[in-house]
Amino acid sequence: MKIVTLFEGLDDSELSEIESHCHWHQLGSGNVVFDKESDTLEVYFLIEGSVRVLSYSPYAREKREVTLANFVAGEYFGELAALDGKPRSAKVVTSETSLLASLDGPSFRDIMMRFPQLALRVTLRLADIIRRLDSRVTELSTLSEQERVYTELLHLAKPDSKKAGQYMIAEMPKHKDLASWTGVSQESVAQVLGELARDGILERRHLGMLVRDYDRLRLMARAR
């Protein structure tokens, strides 16, 4: 459990006590950890692997999954239901083979009462989640499908350490993952990427993508 950032600062005996109350889960890629509206109250700690938090887009004509967040080893999720006892607000699915530890809601609340520093970390994390979700909702509700894809590409693009002023997407997501994160169809993602490539804004580089005209892409994303 030392890998879990929430428990930073606890000694070995305190960590061992928490572990003794946990259940352990080895899950393959694509396994549902819990579904939206389920009444489970466990908090999950990611020891290995990664998961996606999913909901459904209210702006699509058909029911379409939208990725709200990604969590990797060392992070935790599910604390909202553990705190208020209400049904799950989202669905969580493993992105790869993952090892998780789970703690029931009452035990999680007891730990926060015993260690105020953990309660403060949980509170700050919830505040950060609210801020990020506000931004996600704004993007989904005010941007067109094309603009959502442009915006996500900007999020993914990082400065190239080998060439000043150039931006790279080191590992380009699959169309289905990009579609899930932006709330659009895979067909729309393919169409937008094709248009950007034809216009010379993007260029495929092995597993990644070179953003040949970052400023133009930024202007397109902010067209509204």
66 closest CA partner among 121, 140, 6, 167: 140
Residue 125 has pLDDT above 50, yes or no: yes
Residue 51 has pLDDT above 60, yes or no: yes
Considering 52-56, 73-77, 179-183, the range whose residues carry the highest mean pLDDT is 73-77
Query: What's the average model confidence in pLDDT over 21-50?
Result: 95
Indicate the pLDDT class of residue 155, thresholds 50, 70 and 90.
confident
Predicted confidence at residue 160, as pLDDT, reads 83
- Kindly report which listed range (45-54, 129-138, 150-159, 199-208) carries the lowest average pLDDT score: 129-138
Looking at the DSSP assignment, which residues form a beta bridge with residue 55?
Answer: 66
Could you tell me the two tokens for 87?
């049904």
Tell me which long-range contacts 122-127 makes (C-beta under 8 A, separation of at least 24).
122/6, 122/79, 122/83, 125/79, 126/79, 126/80
Question: Considering the chain, what percentage of its residues have pLDDT values greater than 70?
Answer: 95
Query: What's the average model confidence in pLDDT over 63-67?
Result: 75
Average pLDDT, the chain: 89
Query: What's the average model confidence in pLDDT over 112-134?
Result: 90
Domains of the chain in start order, with CATH, are 5-142 (2.60.120.10), 145-221 (1.10.10.10)
Predicted confidence at residue 62, as pLDDT, reads 60
Predicted confidence at residue 119, as pLDDT, reads 94
* Residue 52: Cβ-neighbour burial (10 angstroms; 0-12, 13-18, 19+): buried
Predicted confidence at residue 81, as pLDDT, reads 93
Residue 90 has pLDDT above 50, yes or no: yes
Give the chain's end-to-end CA distance (angstroms, integer).
46
Indicate the pLDDT class of residue 57, thresholds 50, 70 and 90.
low
Indicate the pLDDT class of residue 224, thresholds 50, 70 and 90.
very low
Pairwise pLDDT comparison (81 vs 137), residue with the higher score: 81
